[in-house]
């Protein structure tokens, strides 16, 4: 068994992945075995071809698909699939020094419970003078992922262990229930979570030790767009959401912001539009980044009132629940088949469909096609707008139709020729499956179906494992 698994979550960045794998191919020889695990989080480019190229050259590579979108989903999948005692997590847009894999050794030697490597910035082009001046005295700067504590190992606090270049024991990731959510699309930022911050908070609560080790140096590709006022303020708005998550988990109060904050009450899209119209000079940028951070925290606290299930989502202690099934060979094969199907759908998708909408439709189609292929009878629970969208999808792809639609409240007799039955009517059905036709209240539907049918029929949640909806769809 390998001592180390190098985990690389990636999505549609094959050129960066190629650079990273090339640098991993140049590692100095070590006395321990190690492997590389590429976790494809829904790529439609030539990511798999790049993997195959380097697998042929190196041999110690494995490739898995995590079909549920989300950086934390890919990291958590890595922990489930890893064969190594330790996991070295990397961002896919890095290149490494030739001793990088030795970053796990301080943990193996008992000198730390986690290590973070040096992260230097590989600029796309020469940065402006104000950036150089700002970074001149900084050893650590989170917005750009800078981590440079010098040429010697030094103990480091938990909040400076950056997930893009760190080593942790695999069993720790499993014990902690995985990484918390982060990096959600703009319309779902309230579910963004505190990611690696929440993970290493648990690390701190157990009095574990962190260590900075320059032996694991990485250069992080840094485009000039990342020093624009719009990018940095967006980055700090998301950081504010993360801070609010952490405060809620730790039972600390977070007050809504008032006063002279120009971003107060905005969502992230409104913030970006405001900055486009009102450019921020670099001399006041740090102050405005702080304002954006406060606005992000304010945004999440207000979202708690809008989304009733958000508080329970925030307080989850384990974000790996259900991921155990991903070790099953049959499911893994199905995931690979799904990604082939998804790429085919992407190639013929209408131009007006977003990447998220395409992914959702492909995911639902994949389930429906499997039901049709297995000739299973099914019914739908719920007679709302989602069911109309679903029946349109079924008709468009000439798939097996449901026997009927079931709902507690019946406003009409049918939808698109499919009969609607009330739950208080006598039911007699040969259906094998109930599909919960909703992307917002599936849990409510599931409980109702269990009341009606117990375990006598299979219940399918089309969005099991996804963050809470609703989701954008291709009409």
Over residues 199-237, the pLDDT tens digits come to: 999 999 999 999 999 999 999 999 999 889 999 999 999
State the pLDDT confidence band at 174, using cuts at 50, 70 and 90.
very high
Distance from C-alpha of 29 to C-alpha of 192, rounded to nearest angstrom = 40
Summarize the confidence of residues 109-134 as an average pLDDT. 93
Q: Tokens at residue 466, please?
A: 């996804």
Annotate 285-351 with DSSP letters as a single string.
HHHHHHHHHHHHHHHHHHHHHH-TTHHHHHT-S-S-TTGGGGGSHHHHHHHHHHHHHHHHHHHT--T
Where are the strands (E) in 144-256, listed by range? Answer: 146-147, 154-156, 165-169, 210-222
**Residue 157 above 90 pLDDT?**
yes
Where in the chain are all domains bearing CATH 3.90.550.10?
4-224
Q: Worst-scoring range by mean pLDDT, 193-197, 217-221, 322-326, 416-420?
A: 322-326
Burial class (CB in 10 A: 0-12, 13-18, 19+), 373: exposed
Contact 200, 161 (CB under 8 A): yes
Residue showing tokens 């504590």: 149
Distance from C-alpha of 226 to C-alpha of 110, rounded to nearest angstrom = 37
Where in the chain are all domains bearing CATH 3.40.50.720?
349-461
Instruction: Tell me the CATH number of domain 349-461, given options 3.40.50.720, 3.40.30.10, 3.40.190.170, 3.90.330.10.
Output: 3.40.50.720
Q: Worst-scoring range by mean pLDDT, 12-16, 82-86, 446-450?
A: 446-450
Which among 186, 182, 231, 183 is positioned nearest to 354, based on CA atoms? 186
Summarize the confidence of residues 23-31 as an average pLDDT. 96
- What's the pTM? 0.72
Q: Tell me, what's the pLDDT at 31? A: 96
Summarize the confidence of residues 135-164 as an average pLDDT. 91
Q: Tell me, what's the pLDDT at 339? A: 58
Q: Tell me, what's the pLDDT at 246? A: 86
**What is the average pLDDT value for the chain, to the nearest integer?**
86
Q: Tell me, what's the pLDDT at 346? A: 61
**Residue 404 above 80 pLDDT?**
yes
**Under CATH, to which class is 4-224 assigned?**
alpha beta
Q: Tell me, what's the pLDDT at 350? A: 56
State the pLDDT confidence band at 349, using cuts at 50, 70 and 90.
low
pLDDT digits (tens, 9 = 90+) for 263-320: 888 888 888 888 888 888 888 888 899 999 999 988 988 888 787 778 877 877 787 7
- Tell me if residue 147 falls in helix, strand or coil: strand
């Amino acid at each position: 068994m390998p001592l180390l698994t190098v985990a690389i979550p990636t999505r549609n960045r094959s050129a960066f992945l190629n650079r990273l794998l090339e640098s991993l191919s140049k590692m100095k020889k070590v006395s321990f075995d190690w492997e590389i695990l590429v976790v494809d989080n829904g790529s439609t480019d030539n990511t798999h071809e790049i993997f195959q190229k380097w697998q042929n050259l190196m041999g110690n590579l494995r490739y898995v698909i995590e079909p549920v979108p989300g950086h934390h989903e890919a990291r958590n999948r890595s922990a489930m699939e890893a064969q190594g005692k330790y996991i070295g997590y990397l961002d896919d847009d890095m290149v490494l020094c030739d001793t990088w894999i030795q970053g796990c050794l301080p943990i193996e030697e008992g000198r730390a419970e986690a290590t973070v490597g040096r992260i230097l910035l590989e600029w796309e082009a020469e940065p402006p003078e104000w950036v150089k001046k700002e970074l001149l005295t900084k050893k650590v700067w989170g917005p750009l992922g800078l981590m440079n504590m010098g040429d010697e190992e030094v103990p480091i606090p938990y909040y400076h262990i950056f997930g893009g270049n760190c080593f942790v024991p695999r069993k720790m990731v499993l014990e902690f229930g995985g990484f918390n959510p982060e990096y959600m699309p703009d319309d779902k930022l309230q579910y963004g979570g505190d990611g690696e911050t929440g993970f290493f908070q648990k690390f701190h609560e157990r009095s574990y030790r962190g260590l900075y080790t320059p032996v694991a140096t990485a250069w992080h590709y840094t485009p000039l767009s990342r020093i624009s006022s719009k990018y940095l303020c967006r980055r700090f708005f998301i950081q504010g959401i993360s801070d609010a998550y952490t405060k809620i988990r730790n039972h600390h109060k977070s007050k809504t912001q008032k006063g002279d904050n120009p971003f107060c009450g905005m969502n992230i899209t409104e913030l970006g539009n405001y900055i486009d119209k009102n450019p921020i000079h670099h001399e006041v940028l740090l102050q405005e980044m702080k304002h954006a951070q406060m606005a992000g925290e304010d945004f999440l606290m207000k979202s708690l009132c809008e989304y009733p299930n958000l508080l329970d989502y925030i307080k989850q202690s384990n974000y790996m629940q259900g991921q155990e099934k991903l070790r099953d060979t049959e499911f893994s094969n199905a995931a690979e088949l799904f990604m082939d199907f998804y790429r085919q759908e992407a190639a013929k998708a209408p131009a007006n469909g977003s990447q998220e909408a395409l992914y959702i439709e492909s995911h639902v189609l994949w389930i429906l096609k499997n039901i049709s292929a297995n000739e299973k009878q099914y019914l739908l629970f719920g007679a709302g707008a989602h069911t109309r969208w679903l029946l349109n999808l079924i008709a468009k792809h000439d798939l097996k139709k449901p026997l009927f639609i079931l709902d507690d409240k019946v406003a009409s007799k049918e939808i698109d020729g499919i009969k609607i039955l009330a739950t208080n009517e006598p039911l007699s059905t040969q259906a094998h499956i109930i599909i919960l036709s909703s992307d917002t209240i599936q849990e409510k539907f599931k409980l109702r179906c269990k009341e009606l049918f117990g375990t006598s029929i299979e219940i399918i949640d089309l969005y099991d494992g996804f963050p809470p909806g609703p989701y954008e769809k291709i009409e």
